[in-house]
Amino acid sequence: MPRKTMPLTPLEIKGAKPQNKPYRLFDGGGLYVEVSPSGGKLWRMKYLIDGKERRLSFGAFPAVSLADARQRRDEAKKLLANGADPGEVKKSQKATRQVELANTFKAVSLEWLEKQKPKWEESHFKRVKARLDKNVWPWLGEKPVSDIEPVSVLEVLRKIEERNAHYMAGRVKESISRVMNYATATGRAKGDPTVALRDVLTAHVEKHMASITDPKRVGEILRAFDAFTGTHTVRSALLLAPLVFARPGELRHMRWVDIDLIAGLWELDRGSMKMRQPHIVPLSTQAVEIIKGMQPVSEHLEYVFPGGRDPKRPMSDAAINAALRRLGIDTQEELTGHGFRAMARTILRERLGFDSEWIEAQLSHKKQGALGSAYDRTLFLEQRKGMMQAWADYLDKLKAGGEVIQLNTAA
C-alpha cells in the first residue's frame, strides 16, 4: 500500500481493514498505525538516534486514541531535541515503576513485620499485623511507599476517628510511622509523612488498666480464685498471678528451664521481657507450691502453663482475663491480668511500707536518665526476696479474712 502523508483521522483508523501482511498508516512526525493481519492496530513511532533508526510503541488503538498517540509522539520529540533517547527513557521509567509496585506499603509493612518478629511476643506481632490489615492496607496497601503523602495517611486516620477509636488512631499512626521510617532507611521512601500530622488527631484520654487496691476486696477476689472450677492450668496461673505480679505475657511464657524451685527464683531472659532486660523474680513458698502443682501436667514440656489446644505453645494471652470474667469480675472496670501489678505496687508501698525502689525493681521498671540503660537484674534481690514472701503471707491473711496489718519492713 502506498505511504500516506496526510494526517490520519479517527474514522480512517477505525475503518482500516486487515490484509494478508501487516501494513502502516502514517500520521506524520514518525507516528504511524501498524495494522496486523488479525486486525490489531498498534501505534508506533520511528526516530533516529545517533544515526540509527529506533522505534517506540505507544499501545493499541482505540484504547490509545489518535490525540493520545500524537501527544506521546510530541513528548518523545522533545526528549530527542534535548539529546535524550525516548526509548531508553521509557525503559527507565518502566523499571522505576516496577520497583515502585514491588515496594508497596503492604509489601514493605510485611517486610518490616518480619524484621520485628524475633524481638516481639507472638501475640504482639499478630496484634500489629491485624491493626495494619484492618485499618491501613485496604487504603494504602497497594500504594508505593514513595508516593505516600501526609494527606493520604490523614484520610486513613480520619476513618478510624469516625469510629471514635481515638486510641486506635494513635496506634495506627505509630505503626505507619515505623513502616515509613523503615522504608526511608532502606532507600525506598523520602521520609515519614506522619511527622506532619503531629497535632491533627483528637487526643485520647487514657484509661488505666483496671485494678483493685482495697484490701477487703482483694481478699474476696482471692477467695473467688480458690473456687475457680476451670482447668488446672488456668486455675494455677490465676492463683500465681497476684503472687508474682509479672506482666501477663511473661507469666504465660514462664518456662521450666528458667525456674529454680529449690532457690525459689524465676529468671526471665531478655527475649521474654517487655523492656528487653533480664529479670529475676523471687518466688515465695506459696508460689513454689503452685508451680510444683503443675509438674505432673507440664514438666515434660517447655512452658509451665501450656496451651489447651497446642501444649507446645504457651497458654492463651486471653486466658487470665477470661477466667476473671468467668468469676464475675469486671475486667473493664475492676481487675485485669495486668492489674495485679498496680495492686501490688500500691499496697506494698502504701499499706505495707516497702521501699519504692525495691518495688520498682521488682516490677522491672527501667530507671529514667543516664543510668536507665544499666538495669541490674539482681538489684535489691535480697530485699526483694523478703518483700515477696511478706507479700504472699499478707495475701494469705486477706484471703482468710484476717486482720489487715501494717508492716514497717522498710527502713
Among 344, 394, 347, 335, residue whose Cα is nearest residue 364: 344
Map 285-320 to HEC letters.
Answer: HHHHHHHHCCHHHHCCCCECCECCCCCCCECCCCHH
Is 60 exceeded by the pLDDT of residue 220? yes
Three cell numbers at 372?
536507665
Q: Is there a contact between 401 and 296 (Cβ–Cβ < 8 Å)?
A: no
Instruction: Please tell me which of 147-156, 361-370, 397-406 the model is most confident about, judged by mean pLDDT.
Output: 147-156
Residue 41 Cα distances to 36, 61, 71, 132, 327, angstroms: 7, 5, 18, 44, 75
Residue 37 C-beta-side C-alpha neighbours within 13 Å: 2
Q: How far apart (Å, rounded) are the C-alpha atoms in residues 367 and 375? A: 8
- Please write the tens of the pLDDT for every residue from 9-20: 989 999 899 999
User: What values do phi and psi take at 175, rounded to 5?
Assistant: -65, -45
Question: What type of residue sits at position 24?
Answer: R
User: Model's pTM, two decimal places?
Assistant: 0.53
Domain boundaries, the chain: 10-95, 105-197, 215-400
Among 391, 387, 342, residue whose Cα is nearest residue 365: 342
105-197: same fold as 10-95?
no
Three cell numbers at 336?
485485669
What would the mean pLDDT of 389-410 be, rounded to a whole number?
A: 73
Catalytic residues: 247, 274, 338, 341, 365, 375
Q: Is there a contact between 124 and 276 (Cβ–Cβ < 8 Å)?
A: no
Q: Is there a contact between 238 and 223 (Cβ–Cβ < 8 Å)?
A: no
> How high is the pLDDT of residue 374?
44
Q: Is there a contact between 59 and 71 (Cβ–Cβ < 8 Å)?
A: no
Question: What type of residue sits at position 38?
Answer: S
- Please write the tens of the pLDDT for every residue from 226-283: 989 999 999 999 999 999 999 888 999 999 999 999 999 999 874 444 434 678 999 9
- Please write the tens of the pLDDT for every residue from 343-370: 999 999 999 999 999 999 999 866 544 4
Helix (H, G, I), strand (E, B) or coil at 379: coil
Determine the topology of domain 215-400 in CATH.
hpI Integrase; Chain A (1.10.443)
Is 60 exceeded by the pLDDT of residue 38? yes
Multiple choice CATH, 105-197, 1.10.10.10, 1.10.150.130, 3.40.50.150, 3.40.50.300: 1.10.150.130
Is 80 exceeded by the pLDDT of residue 130? yes
Multiple choice CATH, 10-95, 3.90.1170.50, 3.30.70.3270, 3.30.160.390, 3.30.43.10: 3.30.160.390
